[in-house]
Structure 1
Amino acid sequence: MLEWVERLAKYCADQDGVPLIAGRVLGWLMICDPPEQSAQQIATAIGASRASLSTNLRLLSSVGFVRVLTKPASRTVFYRVDDDAWEKVVQRQIASLAAVGKILHDGTPLAGSSPNHGGRIAAANEVFRWMQQIFDNAPPLPSTARAAKESQG
Structure 2
Amino acid sequence: MSSQDNQDEMLRWVERVATFCVEEWALPPITGRILGLLMICEPPERSAGQIAETIQASRASLTSNMRFLTAIGLIRKVRVPGDRTAYYRIEDDAWHKVIQRKLDSLAAFGDIAEQGLALAGGEGARVERIRTAQRSLTWLRDIAARNPLKT
User: Normalised by the size of structure 2, how large is the TM-score?
Assistant: 0.86
SS in 2 for 1:142: coil
What corresponds to 1:141 in structure 2?
A: 149
What corresponds to 1:67 in structure 2?
A: 76
Q: Structure 2 CA distance, aligned partners of 1:94 and 1:3?
A: 30
Q: Structure 1 CA distance, aligned partners of 2:69 and 2:56?
A: 18
Question: Which among 16, 33, 46 is matched to residue 55 of structure 2?
Answer: 46
Task: Select between 119-128 and 33-42 the one with higher mean Cα deviation.
Answer: 119-128
Query: Between the two proteins, what is the percent identity of the paired residues?
Result: 48
Q: How many residues align?
A: 142
Deviations 1:35-78 (A, max 9, x none): 11100111111111111111111121122211112234432111
What corresponds to 2:111 in structure 1?
A: 102
Asked if 1 retains the 8 angstrom alpha-carbon contact of 2:47 and 2:88, the reply is: yes
What corresponds to 1:125 in structure 2?
A: 134
User: Normalised by the size of structure 1, how large is the TM-score?
Assistant: 0.85
Asked if 2 retains the 8 angstrom alpha-carbon contact of 1:63 and 1:89, the reply is: no
Asked if 1 retains the 8 angstrom alpha-carbon contact of 2:46 and 2:88, the reply is: yes
Asked if 1 retains the 8 angstrom alpha-carbon contact of 2:106 and 2:141, the reply is: no
Asked if 1 retains the 8 angstrom alpha-carbon contact of 2:46 and 2:87, the reply is: yes
| Runs of 4+ more than 6 Å apart | none
Question: 1:132 Cα deviation (Å)?
Answer: 2.8
SS in 1 for 2:78: strand
What corresponds to 2:20 in structure 1?
A: 11
Please provide the CA RMSD for this pair. 1.5
Asked if 1 retains the 8 angstrom alpha-carbon contact of 2:73 and 2:91, the reply is: no
2:54 aligned partner, one-letter code? A
What corresponds to 1:149 in structure 2?
A: none
- Give unmatched runs, 5+ long, in structure 2: 1-9
- Give unmatched runs, 5+ long, in structure 1: 144-153
